[in-house]
Structure 1
Amino acid sequence: MMAATSADLPTTVPHKEELWSNQTNLTINASESHSNGSCSLEDNNSLSLALIFFYSIIFLVGLVGNIIALFAFLRIHQKRNSIQVYLLNVAVADLLLIFCLPFRILYHATNRWMFGRIFCKVVGTLFYMNMYISIVLLGLISLDRYIKINKSVKRPKMLTTARSVQICCTVWAIALTGFIVVVVPSFFKTKDSNSTKCFHYRSKQNAEKTEAILNYIIVLIFWVVFFLLILSYVKIAKNLLKISRRRANFPNAGKYTKTARNSFIVLIIFTICFVPYHIFRFVYITSQLQTPSCRWTKIIHVCNEVMLVFSSFNSCLDPVMYFLMSRSVRKTVLQLICTKLHGESSLNLESTSDIKLGQYAQERLSTTTPHSSYSRKKSMI
């Protein structure tokens, strides 16, 4: 019995070691296969159809809305104020982002990129560049409105049209510089020059780690802008409601309350479109610096695509913001509609947002009589 057992040992133990060795080799090969980029990230049919549908809707609605808004801005004959300058630049940034969407739609429809690696980099970078230009400009709008309520008497030069033009030029210059820094190195890379993949998850290794660090900085800038918006619009709403309560017996007192509610339109747009994407963005960038399993890579890729749809949706909501925030845009658009439908060439409009924000600081500090306060000219923008 003992001899038989001893004789069996040499054949049994090596068999187990061989199985363990084969399993280890399979694991190593799978890891190497993933690191070499063979993990398939092709979107399934349901995800591709959903992305095609939503991007198509965003493209059509955003294109029409922003072209009408841009037309309305260009039709304004009187001197533009600072907020109109910011809104005009937001419309331009949204249109440039929208022009990138047909390439994404075509890619998800065919699951194949046909325009080369360099153009993939150009389209992808242009998409993100204009998204963050919109974010920064929306933050500047909130800062402008905050200053008009709290600092308009002390710092009037900060609210001038010329100053807002200079700020917008600076924003575009910084964005274009970043665009060049990101895109130009791709002209000198030969790896994957014939790749048919675009807009997909890609790990950041070696020199590309610098790009990942830049992405971290951009995400941090977003959160700074977001908290700036929260503080600004909470302060704006509190001041407007305070004026409304103090002048409750005035004929226009109700407009302050309604304008206080409308002041949160930018914050609402920010929260819906950008907050989900930037919460997940930290996870996405961190995973690019590591080597997650193929399963987790696919999950991260799908989540990123869904969050990006929400960010693109901002280009559809921005025209609504132009209409609510700018009396000139509202009047021009309604004149255009009435001209097409009824042949009318003029329209006299009055709205709750027609109160000039610069007046709020004066209302808050003023001791004028009800008659003189009510007889002031009211215009939002």
Structure 2
Amino acid sequence: MSRTVFYSTDYSLDTDYASLLIAPCSKSEVRSFTKVFLPVAYSLICIVGLVGNIFVVMTFALYERTKSMTDVYLLNMAIADILFVLTLPLWAVNYAADKWIFGSFVCKMARGIYAINFSCGMLLLAFISVDRYIAIVQATKSFKLRARTLAYSKLICLAVWASAILISSSSFLYSESYSFASNETKMICDHKFDRASDSIVLKSVLLCLQVGFGFFVPFVFMIFCYAFIVKSLQQAQNSKRNKAINVIVLIVAVFLVCQVPYNTVLLVAVANMGKTEKSCDSDNVMAYAKYTTETIAFLHCCLNPVLYAFIGVKFRSYFVKTMKNLWCRRYKKYNKRGSRTNSDTYSSRLTSEILTDNASSFTI
């Protein structure tokens, strides 16, 4: 008994379109665009995102002070972003070569790791919003609440990672490296289904899950928490109030600019699934829109270290202290006494600055 396998005539890093299973339009122009644009964009995002997030992980790992809940979330988000950007070189090669050359196992791992860490990063943004809400709006209760929840921080992060793995499990199950029916020499890495009905239903569910957990959940948490935070800050008599509000506005604005276009395209893709009457021009427009907005969404992993870590006074102090200690350690054998004296002096000054900090993540 023969088995009919349904293939896509175009492929992408995140998801394919069911319409491409029905209407085999020419994608030569789209592929010419992706062959140049995506390898360059992914390479730059990988380099910038890797450097910024490695600095975040290194600072939290080397600094021995007890971490707050936000610190724990930031550390996990940086790890998720690092794992995410490490998959981008594979896709850069994929688009540059216009075919998948790494085999089915690497295909499953690349798509699975990408999906897990993208979802994990978005969910952690929601928890960061909640922790900041507790720290600022519920200031009178925040000490006890955050001390209590800090003990469960690892369990919370473990639950986030488990949820992301569950949401992304289909990428491990259905991703394969296979060849086009019309071109047996060209391999692609994509979802592969045995029946057209399964293809449409499963892809619709996967896209809905991605939009739900990758956009709407963190967006709702951010809007709710940051709205109350801004209201609370407006009532506070603090010289740094306006700067803190500006930071919140910037965080929300960057999230919307990076995520709204991409998730809008995904929702349109869900609405168009199963439709048989579609022109090749509309398919090409959707392909251009998806690749462009997807790249913009990926920029968020480069901006996270700046928006959530380096913009804070405490983290900058930790980072400078870590860099200085590493530098002094490097030259310790040449000038032990001078290094120790300078380090002690700096540490004393830093401790004074940290103790006077109001522990707000929005301190500029």
TM-score computed with the length of structure 1 as normaliser:
0.72
Pairing of 1:287-298 with structure 2 (within 5 A): 287-291=272-276, 292-298=278-284
- Indicate the larger mover: 71-80 or 122-131: 122-131
SS at match of 2:320: helix
SS at match of 1:112: coil
Paired with 2:230 and 2:83, the residues of 1 have a C-alpha distance of 32
CA contact (8 A) 1:97 1:127 kept: yes
Gaps of 5+ in 1: 1-32, 245-252, 359-378
Counterpart amino acid of residue 243 in structure 1: A
Residue 356 of structure 1: aligned partner:
359
Matched, 1:230 2:223: yes
CA contact (8 A) 2:135 2:360 kept: yes
CA contact (8 A) 2:38 2:92 kept: yes
Paired with 2:73 and 2:90, the residues of 1 have a C-alpha distance of 28
**C-alpha displacement of 1:172:** 0.5
Q: Which among 130, 148, 153 is matched to residue 143 of structure 1?
A: 130
Paired with 1:187 and 1:218, the residues of 2 have a C-alpha distance of 20
Matched, 1:126 2:126: no
Residue 115 of structure 1: aligned partner:
102
Residue 318 of structure 2: aligned partner:
332
Residue 49 of structure 1: aligned partner:
36
Matched, 1:284 2:273: no
Change in 2 beyond 3 A, CA 1:130/1:194 = farther
**C-alpha displacement of 1:67:** 0.8
CA contact (8 A) 1:52 1:105 kept: yes
**C-alpha displacement of 1:311:** 1.2
Residue 256 of structure 1: aligned partner:
241
Instruction: Figure out how many residues of one structure are paired with residues of the other and give that number.
Output: 320
**C-alpha displacement of 1:102:** 0.2
Residue 260 of structure 2: aligned partner:
275
Paired with 1:188 and 1:319, the residues of 2 have a C-alpha distance of 34
CA contact (8 A) 2:176 2:190 kept: no
Change in 2 beyond 3 A, CA 1:177/1:104 = same
Residue 306 of structure 2: aligned partner:
320
Gaps of 5+ in 2: 1-18, 332-338
Residue 220 of structure 1: aligned partner:
212
List per-residue Cα deviations over 1:261-287 (Å, max 9, x = no partner).
Answer: 223343233122212211221012333
List per-residue Cα deviations over 1:107-161 (Å, max 9, x = no partner).
Answer: 1211111123453343123213211211111111111111223335457335631
Counterpart amino acid of residue 207 in structure 2: N
Matched, 1:157 2:145: yes
Paired with 1:47 and 1:282, the residues of 2 have a C-alpha distance of 22
Matched, 1:96 2:83: yes
- Indicate the larger mover: 53-62 or 86-95: 53-62
Change in 2 beyond 3 A, CA 1:112/1:79 = same
Residue 28 of structure 1: aligned partner:
none
Matched, 1:206 2:193: no
Change in 2 beyond 3 A, CA 1:45/1:189 = closer
Counterpart amino acid of residue 257 in structure 2: I
Paired with 2:207 and 2:234, the residues of 1 have a C-alpha distance of 39
Change in 2 beyond 3 A, CA 1:73/1:197 = same
Residue 294 of structure 2: aligned partner:
308
SS at match of 1:197: strand
Q: Which among 189, 192, 196 is matched to residue 187 of structure 2?
A: 196
Based on CA coordinates, which of the two structures has the bigger radius of gyration? 1
Q: CA RMSD in A?
A: 3.6
**C-alpha displacement of 1:190:** 10
Matched, 1:68 2:55: yes
Paired with 2:319 and 2:290, the residues of 1 have a C-alpha distance of 36
Paired with 2:92 and 2:125, the residues of 1 have a C-alpha distance of 27
Counterpart amino acid of residue 216 in structure 2: W
